[in-house]
Structure 1
Amino acid sequence: MWWLIISGLVVGGMLGFVMQRTRFCLTGGFRDIYVQKSNKMFYALLIAITIQGIGLWILTTLNVIQLSYDTFSVVGTIIGSFVFGIGIILAGGCATGTWYRAGEGLIGSWIALGMYALFAAMTKAGVLKPFLDKMNSVTVVNSDVSKATGIPYWLLLLVLAGITFYFVRKELKKPKFAVPQLKPKFTGMRHVFFEKKYHPFMAAVAIGLIAFIAWPVSASTGRNYGLGITTPSSNLLQFLVNGDTKLLDWGVFLVLGIFIGSYIAARGSREFKWRLPDRITIRNSAIGGACMGIGAALAGGCSIGNGLVATATMNAQGWLSLLFMILGTWFMSYFLFVRPTQQAKKVSVKTQTA
């Protein structure tokens, strides 16, 4: 039991610390593909997936772990991922981002996190479970891409690694613009850990390694999976309600570790501050959190469980989910960012010509 608690908190703490310090945000990355025409964060995600995938291939070759593949609902995954994408834009962060931003003191993230856990629990084990069961019973297919295509896992990883290398190399060749350097507040190791700015690709390497480490550590506690956010968040809420200690698996301590790691990083860098949002942000955070919870439950995972972990195992549900999460973020980004900007420009042009 002690190993389960400590290992979950340590791995989660590392993830929360790295994500908070590097501002590694998949929500912003998905949004920026459309709004800013920037693919940098998506390429960073590919790096993390590739590193984790290579690590998994080594572990499976050595029989340290065994990858398992379930059937999944194509329709449920598409709808759930799209709704989840809408939710993370409204909430201002994905499932993991909400956990680590809560550790920074953002009240809006606390609201989104509470609604996310609540609606995930309602969909997985509560009043919405019949709807989930119904969705999971239609258009069911096998999730193993290797089995479906006949292409070995290692070859699929090799293709992914080649694609990742091409885009990362292309991105790094782009001209760099000088950024004014502020005078450091800290010196020595504190500067390295709590102030120094890191490239998203370096953050991706660290996150990929943490995601890889999570597999054997989690497996040592009897949980044969890597990083996961939705089910642990749901289990944590259910435990707080009914006190069932069977719900306290490695994943629960992982998400608690993310919060603690982020808090330590925010405190050390002097970025922690209780921030009360305005009414619109409160509304959006609540609605976004609810969409995240329902969407992730329908899709079988969030941007980490599907977008980072399942993709590394060459799981069809993971890649399909990642695609529709991105489309969901683009859909909501149009109404929250693109359309208001377009309308403001039109008003400005009319004012100038009047």
Structure 2
Amino acid sequence: MKLKSNIPSVKNFFGIILVLFISVLVSDKVKDQSEVLYLSLWLGISFGIVLQRSRFCFYCLSRDFIEKSNAEGLLGIITSLVVGTLGYHIVFGAFLTEPIFPHLPPNAHISPVSFVLLLGSFSFGFGMAIAGSCISAQLYRLGEGLVSSLFAFVGIIIGFILAFRIWNYFYLNIIYDAPVVWFPHHFGYMGSVVVQLTLMSVFAILLFKFHKKQKKEEISFWWKIKWPTYVGGILVGIIGMVAFFRITPLGVTAEIGSISRNTAEYFNIMPLRLEGFDTLRGCITVVKNVFWTNNGLFIFGLVLGSFAAAVFSEDFKIQIPNVHEVKNSFIGGLFMGFGSMIALGCTVGNLLSGIMAASLSGWIFLIFCALGLYLGWIIKNKIRVN
């Protein structure tokens, strides 16, 4: 494939210019607060660009493997986990010289392992299959002009509120005594790296075994070419490491959960308290009245970055959904919101950040999320055929 050396049109740079302008406005707004807030914005922008250009959507990449035996996308996810695991273990030493039980590195997404985690993971995977993409992909596709993402987020917020209503029962009866398993406690830092890389290697070998070579996409303009997923994986791993070291682990549901809590408070349907919630690790939500938070700016930046990348690559297009797409987005959002709340994170905050942190909860999320995804894919395809 020979690429044309044309220079993109001036209109292709509109998104980049707009993002730079908005970043200046945000910088002025947060200059008296913390430079970490501004860094959160730019990490979000970078994350959005990477997700959009490499099509780093957990459901889409999984669907490619199920339907086409194309393992390239899932191997890209494993690449991000390898890079993130190595980076996290370097950072662990700065926070915690010796991984002695029960001490854990600050903010790392290391959650209790219980039936609730299994249920939440399965629900999330099922929901993203019905909705067509996970929460992070809904955000970057919103930046591409996908209007149905808005209906997914309505469902996600309602799903969060439903989960809030039954959280106390889950916590007091199941989560309270559930074990928190961090590999370095059992194997040390070096042993933890070996265990992690061994598990990833096993998954990679299985994916290679079933992979079928795909036909190359014919695109002549360099700015329209999709980035290889392994490149996206490397960059996601690096962004994850930087976020963990400077701010907090990657995640996109803390801000959404906070909006859900505020909404529930407004309608007087929020429990008086969420038992034990603030003592756990993951994408924890809080009741707040400000937008300028680390996770809020990260999500805002993600959409901005995706928008800039989509406009530059000519992928941006306002896509109005039909009734069927609205229904799927909303229902899928319900399951994703419910699942990510009780599992304390989604595919970014739990799968990526959890596995990178050498947490058993991250691996459990991966397995049961995949099972839920597969069931959702089967049901969705049967409905489509009938």
TM-score calculated relative to the size of structure 1? 0.81
| Number of the residue aligned with 1:146 | 183
* Distance in 1 between residues matched to 2:109 and 2:245, nearest whole Å: 17
The answer to whether the 8 A contact 1:18-1:203 is kept is: yes
How far did residue 155 of structure 1 move?
1.5
| Number of the residue aligned with 1:206 | 235
* Distance in 1 between residues matched to 2:225 and 2:76, nearest whole Å: 19
Are the structure 2 counterparts of residues 33 and 216 from structure 1 closer, same or farther at C-alpha, using a change threshold of 3 Å?
same
| Number of the residue aligned with 2:133 | 93
Structure 1 residues 41-79: Cα deviation after superposition (integer angstroms, max 9, x where no partner): 222212111211111111121338934576625111111
Give the secondary-structure state (helix, strand or coil) at the position aligned to 1:82: helix
Q: Does 1:299 align with 2:307?
A: no
Structure 1 residues 154-204: Cα deviation after superposition (integer angstroms, max 9, x where no partner): 3222233245457658849978555253321xxxxxx4xx42332211111
How far did residue 258 of structure 1 move?
0.6
The answer to whether the 8 A contact 2:37-2:297 is kept is: yes
Are the structure 2 counterparts of residues 335 and 316 from structure 1 closer, same or farther at C-alpha, using a change threshold of 3 Å?
same
* Distance in 2 between residues matched to 1:69 and 1:137, nearest whole Å: 21
* Distance in 1 between residues matched to 2:151 and 2:348, nearest whole Å: 20
- Counterparts of 1:72-111 in structure 2, within 5 Å, are 72=112, 74-111=114-151
The answer to whether the 8 A contact 1:239-1:248 is kept is: no
Match of 1:267 among 261, 286, 311: 311
The answer to whether the 8 A contact 1:19-1:203 is kept is: yes
How far did residue 267 of structure 1 move?
1.1
Q: Does 1:181 align with 2:213?
A: no
Q: Does 1:226 align with 2:215?
A: no
* Distance in 2 between residues matched to 1:288 and 1:174, nearest whole Å: 28
| Number of the residue aligned with 2:284 | none
| Number of the residue aligned with 1:59 | 91
What is the total number of aligned residue pairs between the two structures?
Answer: 322
Structure 1 residues 255-313: Cα deviation after superposition (integer angstroms, max 9, x where no partner): 11111111111111121111111111110101111111111001111011111001111
* Distance in 1 between residues matched to 2:244 and 2:217, nearest whole Å: 40
* Distance in 2 between residues matched to 1:167 and 1:319, nearest whole Å: 12
Are the structure 2 counterparts of residues 168 and 74 from structure 1 closer, same or farther at C-alpha, using a change threshold of 3 Å?
closer
* Distance in 1 between residues matched to 2:152 and 2:77, nearest whole Å: 23
Note the residue ranges of structure 1 that are not aligned, 5 or more in a row: 185-190, 219-224, 344-354
Note the residue ranges of structure 2 that are not aligned, 5 or more in a row: 1-32, 97-103, 267-286
TM-score calculated relative to the size of structure 2? 0.75
Q: Which amino acid aligns with 2:180?
A: S
| Number of the residue aligned with 1:311 | 355
- Counterparts of 1:1-354 in structure 2, within 5 Å, are 1-63=33-95, 66-67=105-106, 72=112, 74-120=114-160, 122-123=161-162, 128-140=163-175, 141-146=178-183, 150-164=186-200, 171=208, 176=213, 179=216, 181-184=218-221, 191=222, 194-218=223-247, 225-236=248-259, 244-245=288-289, 248-337=292-381
Are the structure 2 counterparts of residues 325 and 166 from structure 1 closer, same or farther at C-alpha, using a change threshold of 3 Å?
closer
Q: Which amino acid aligns with 1:143?
A: V
Q: Which amino acid aligns with 1:53?
A: T
* Distance in 2 between residues matched to 1:177 and 1:244, nearest whole Å: 48
* Distance in 1 between residues matched to 2:83 and 2:334, nearest whole Å: 32
Q: Which amino acid aligns with 1:179?
A: K
Q: Which amino acid aligns with 1:61?
A: G
* Distance in 2 between residues matched to 1:314 and 1:217, nearest whole Å: 19
Give the secondary-structure state (helix, strand or coil) at the position aligned to 1:276: coil
* Distance in 1 between residues matched to 2:209 and 2:378, nearest whole Å: 28
Root-mean-square deviation (CA, aligned residues, Å) is 2.9
